[in-house]
Amino acid sequence: MAKIIAFYNNKGGVAKTTTATNVAGVLSLQHKKVLLIDGDPQGHTSLTFGVNADNLQTTLGAYLSSHWTAKQASDYFINVNDYLDVVPSNQSLSDFIISVSAEETKFRNKYLKNFIDPIKNDYDYIIFDMAPAVDIILENIVEIVDDLIVVAVPETYAVKNAETTLKITDDKHVTVRSIVPTKTQLNTNTHKFMLNNLKEVAEAHNIKMTDTYIPNLIAFSEAVSIYELPLALVKDSRYKKTQKYCQNLVKELGY
Ligand SMILES: Nc1ncnc2c1ncn2[C@@H]1O[C@H](COP(=O)(O)OP(=O)(O)O)[C@@H](O)[C@H]1O
Ligand SMILES: [Mg+2]
């Protein structure tokens, strides 16, 4: 039975997609079967693997709008390797959200559950890369998620949003597994100071912050731009040291 993980923060640009795709990559290298689902209409999850979803018909929004299950859609998943499949998203996910907004909450928050239920035994992990939004997709995630992971950059705006995010998750009675600091620059006093603030925010909500910090390194965007892969999956020995951060994170999270 798959464990369901979602990477979330209601702020953009904090490395939700980078972290979700790299965690999925590491797990696939460990021969865990992973389904990585793009929960953001911006479509960056599949773009990380070189697939621009803008003109695709076979996306999450289309599946949810047509009441398709993941079982029915599985022939159209993007097969990255033997262990990693990706469900892309595009603008049709926003169209879906608008189209169901008038439905009663108890109906409109079950779409993702209905989508993944039939394939829960086919995967070890189902990972959602989420949008920086408080929307119907978040409502749906709350219904199914085992581990919600909040990623945050140790800067004033992002720490404030981490706090807002934890208020949202408290309100929705979702347990946050951990806060993961990303894009850290520990050679700066600002980041050291703000990491402390981030830790205090976590503790105020009884949430752990991981000891693994993902440092701010160009290798993460380089991997996507040059290799069309998350860093964790690039076969280039120059990246070995940086890849270790992703492996350590997966280990610390206990996956
Ligand atoms: N550890 C990192 N070091 C440097 N740049 C990073 C790191 N993680 C992410 N980035 C870059 O930061 C930007 C935002 O990351 P992204 O994963 O798209 O965030 P989100 O999904 O939260 O909007 C991207 O340009 C990405 O390449
Ligand atoms: Mg993203």
Task: Tell me what pLDDT residue 172 has.
Answer: 86
Structure tokens at 134: 């408080």
For residue 97, being part of any structural domain is answered with: yes
Q: Which of 108, 207, 102, 83 is nearest to 149 (CA)?
A: 207
For residue 251, being part of any structural domain is answered with: no
- The reply to whether ligand 1 has any atom less than 6 angstroms from the CB of 242 is no
Query: What DSSP string describes 93-147?
Result: HHHHHHHTTTS-HHHHTTHHHHHHGGGTTT-SEEEEEE-SS-SHHHHHHHHH-SE
Which H or E run includes 34?
A: strand 34-39
Atom of ligand 1 nearest to the CA of 12: 23
Structure tokens at 72: 């029915």
For residue 13, being part of any structural domain is answered with: yes
- The reply to whether ligand 1 has any atom less than 6 angstroms from the CB of 16 is yes
Structure tokens at 148: 């919600």
Query: How many domains are there within the chain?
Result: 1
Task: Tell me what pLDDT residue 175 has.
Answer: 82
Look up the CATH number of the domain holding residue 52: 3.40.50.300
Query: Which ligand neighbours the alpha carbon of 222 most closely?
Result: 1
For residue 185, being part of any structural domain is answered with: no
- The reply to whether ligand 1 has any atom less than 6 angstroms from the CB of 109 is no
List the pLDDT tens digit at each of the 255 positions of the chain.
999 999 999 999 999 999 999 999 999 999 999 999 999 999 999 999 999 999 999 999 999 999 999 999 999 999 999 999 999 999 999 999 999 999 999 999 999 999 999 999 999 999 999 999 999 999 999 999 999 999 999 999 999 999 999 998 888 888 899 999 999 999 999 999 999 999 999 999 999 999 999 999 999 999 999 999 999 999 999 999 999 999 999 999 999
For residue 26, being part of any structural domain is answered with: yes
Boundaries of domain holding 221: 3-149+217-236
